[in-house]
């Protein structure tokens, strides 16, 4: 519980990078997450190059600006949100991109069961990411969970030159926290448990 409660979402990182062995340990933790039929429907892209992090941020930023403008947000607001996102991606010494990979899953003739199979895979990807975040914290590192790739998967694939079989679902910046983040309050347990049957 100490690791579970201690983990926090960090948005600003020091420039010193984690060791490769630490990143491999984080990815090893992800590998042990539960998955449908044990198929591990995830793949991970590790982005450590400053050039590639900048390329990814700029590509995603252009698409995000377009989407925020569609939402009717003011240009000044768009600029602030873009700058913060850009800093999170380029300021982290390492960004892991968890991707959904459906090629090895069971195939069904009906849409309902196929959709359930895909949802199981997405849930297991979430488990893998949580394992990564807990492992990072246990190693003295910090991370965050950015879901922006869900809104621009093709953009992320193009920026990183990924095959179409990889569906980018998140960005996980990893590094040493530059400052302690503001912790958000958690709902009390009696609000979250709807029934004891």
Looking at the domain that runs over 2-49+92-178, which CATH code has it been given? 3.40.109.10
Give the up-direction half-sphere exposure of residue 190: CA atoms within 13 A in the CB hemisphere: 0
Identify the CA nearest to 161 among candidates 59, 64, 40, 27: 59
Six-digit token string for 34: 């539960």
Q: How confident is the model at residue 184 (pLDDT cuts 50, 70, 90)?
A: confident
Span 111-162, pLDDT tens digits: 999 999 999 999 999 999 999 999 999 999 999 999 999 999 999 999 999 9
Q: Where are the alpha helices (DSSP H) in the chain?
A: 2-6, 20-31, 50-70, 75-91, 111-138, 153-160, 189-192
d(C-alpha 94, C-alpha 17), whole Å = 7
Average pLDDT over residues 48-62: 95
Span 66-85, pLDDT tens digits: 888 888 888 888 888 888 88
Helix, strand or coil for residue 167? Answer: strand
Q: What letter would DSSP give residue 151?
A: G
Give the pLDDT score at 26.
98
**Domain residue extents for the chain:** 2-49+92-178
**75-91 and 50-70 helices cross at what angle (nearest 10)?**
160
pTM over 0.85: yes
* Phi, psi for 183 (deg, rounded to 5): -85, 135
First to last CA, the chain: 25
């Amino acid at each position: 519980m100490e690791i579970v409660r201690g983990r926090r979402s960090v948005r600003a990182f020091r420039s010193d990078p984690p060791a490769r062995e630490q990143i491999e340990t984080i990815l090893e933790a992800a590998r042990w997450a539960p998955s449908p039929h044990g198929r591990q429907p995830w793949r991970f892209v590790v982005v450590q190059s400053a050039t590639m992090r900048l390329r990814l941020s700029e590509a995603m930023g252009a698409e995000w600006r377009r989407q925020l403008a569609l939402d009717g947000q003011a240009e000044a607001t768009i600029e602030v949100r873009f700058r913060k996102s850009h800093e999170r991606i380029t300021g982290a010494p390492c960004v892991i991109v968890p991707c959904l990979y459906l090629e090895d899953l069971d195939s069904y003739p009906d849409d309902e069961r196929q959709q359930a199979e895909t949802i199981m895979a997405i849930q297991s990807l979430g488990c893998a990411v949580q394992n990564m975040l807990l492992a990072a914290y246990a190693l003295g590192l910090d991370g965050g969970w950015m879901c922006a790739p869900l809104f621009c998967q093709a953009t992320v694939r193009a920026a990183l030159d990924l095959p179409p079989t990889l569906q980018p679902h998140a960005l996980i910046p990893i590094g040493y926290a530059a400052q302690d983040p503001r912790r958000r309050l958690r709902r009390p347990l009696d609000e979250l448990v709807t029934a004891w049957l």
